[in-house]
Amino acid sequence: MDNKAGPERRRFLDVAGRYGFTVAVLAGTGGFLWSDDAVAQTSKEDESRRKAAKYNMMFATEYKLEDYVKYPVMQAAFRDNVWKASGEKMYVRLFPAGQLAVGAALAQRIQAGTVQGGAVSLSNFSPYTKAVDLINIPYWCGENQKFANLVNSKAWNDEITPKVLDKGYKPMFYFTVDPRTVATRRGFGKAIKTPDDMKGVKMRVPPSKLLQKFYRLAGANPTVVSWGETATAIKQGVADALDPALAALATFGFSDILETVSFVRSVPDAQMFAANNAWFNALPKDQQAGFDEASRLTQIQTFAQIEKARAESMRIMTATGTKFYNPTPAEFQRWAEQCGEARKEWDEDKIELAGSVAAFEKLKAAANTKGSITVGDYQG
């Protein structure tokens, strides 16, 4: 809880020292940090679960447990859902805040089975299972509702899931933390409204060839900068802008160095909860069914948290002076025309990642067909 100060931080550190970090965070996020009885009971319940469990899972993320308030990675909820859905037979030990690995390194550990499961962005999964990189073709599944429709569709399960399983991953569920944005540094002087505003912009990008192509089509100069060096690059003007979802910008400390955030809704800032497939297949059938049910429930909870997380992220960034811009329908159309999936430049990527343009069109139809989950986008 880095944002805690004074007595509350001292209390958190005291509880962590006596009962462990996980219990301290659960107490803090549950609102009972100051209750000795409640903290002791939480510790007792956690130890009781660990001893009673017949099956164990190590689950890792790069996010703190309390980050779910502004970044909807519901790892504590997943832990509890698994316990209940397994008939109180499976204990999930959480390793948050990058304790074991982050990004592509964590994806590799899940694939190798040294970690049984974790939450990783699809961009970081893509080196190991490149089919999921399809979502980084812009303007076909960027909106939250379209992404939810897509990843829960029969088309996705038929076309993409076998390719993910083939690479050693058991996809538990997919989610997004909102679409990617275009966020400009302090002193840049204007909000990005259309691709016309992107000419010559030094755009920080992750090592994704699809995102680099997108920003070149928009007229920007994409520059690959590692995530750990991005804040410094923005402060020093090495990069003018970056594209994570609002929740990521607020969670990772960009609130005081950004001038504007434009909700261009190009591609989803998407993640996957994934398990090692061999580990999952070794579980008894009843435990597999319980694990799948826990994953289903956690996905619903995650999508439900997006709007709350967005509101908290906006509050944090508004307090430091960041301004927000929501493009008009005509401006969205300009983005789609200049950079979107209908351009011929994307055909080679559709063929490589989906197998054919026709297969991609099936996935696109699925994204536009309302599924069982309802989730909202920022409306301004």
Distance CA 164, CA 170 (A): 7
181, with CB counted inside 10 A (0-12, 13-18, 19+), is buried
pLDDT band at 126 (very low <50, low <70, confident <90, very high): confident
Report the predicted TM-score, pTM, of the whole model to 2 decimal places.
0.91
Stretch among 168-172, 203-207, 328-332 having the lowest mean pLDDT = 203-207
Q: Is 75 helix (H, G, I), strand (E, B) or coil?
A: helix
Domain extents for the chain? 1-52, 53-176+270-305, 182-267+314-367
Terminal CA-CA length for the chain: 30
Integer CA distances (angstroms), 202 to 139, 158, 243, in order? 21, 39, 12
Q: Is the dihedral of CA 107, 111, 112, 118 positive or negative?
A: positive
pLDDT band at 2 (very low <50, low <70, confident <90, very high): very low
Q: Tell me, what amino acid is at 146?
A: K
- CA 177-103-60 angle, 5° bins: 80
pLDDT band at 5 (very low <50, low <70, confident <90, very high): low
- Residue of 165, 202, 205, 206 whose CA lies nearest to 184: 202
The arithmetic mean of pLDDT across residues 251-267, rounded, is 96
- CA 20-26-27 angle, 5° bins: 90
The arithmetic mean of pLDDT across residues 289-296, rounded, is 98
pLDDT confidence of residue 79: 95
pLDDT confidence of residue 21: 73
Can you say how many angstroms the Cα of residue 46 is from the centroid of all Cα atoms in its chain?
Answer: 27
The arithmetic mean of pLDDT across residues 74-82, rounded, is 95
The arithmetic mean of pLDDT across residues 55-76, rounded, is 93
pLDDT at 363 exceeding the cut of 90: yes
Q: Is 219 helix (H, G, I), strand (E, B) or coil?
A: coil
pLDDT band at 16 (very low <50, low <70, confident <90, very high): confident
The arithmetic mean of pLDDT across residues 67-93, rounded, is 96
Percent of the chain with pLDDT over 70: 98
Instruction: Please state which CATH number belongs to domain 182-267+314-367.
Output: 3.40.190.170
pLDDT at 3 exceeding the cut of 50: no
On whether the CB atoms of residues 65 and 27 are closer than 8 A, the answer is no
The arithmetic mean of pLDDT across residues 218-246, rounded, is 94
Tokens at 316, concatenated: 């944090």
pLDDT at 228 exceeding the cut of 90: no
Tokens at 257, concatenated: 């160095």
Which DSSP helix (H) or strand (E) runs through 154?
A: helix 154-159
pLDDT band at 9 (very low <50, low <70, confident <90, very high): confident
Backbone angles phi, psi at 70, to 5 degrees: -120, -5
Same CATH topology for 53-176+270-305 and 182-267+314-367: the answer is yes
Torsion-angle region of 178 (φ positive above 0: left; ψ -120 to 50: alpha; else: beta): left
Distance CA 278, CA 254 (A): 39
The arithmetic mean of pLDDT across residues 310-325, rounded, is 97
38, with CB counted inside 10 A (0-12, 13-18, 19+), is middle
pLDDT digit string, tens, across residues 154-180: 999 999 999 999 999 999 999 999 999
pLDDT at 356 exceeding the cut of 50: yes
The CATH class, in words, for 53-176+270-305 is alpha beta
The arithmetic mean of pLDDT across residues 348-375, rounded, is 97
Stretch among 94-103, 193-202, 360-369 having the lowest mean pLDDT = 94-103
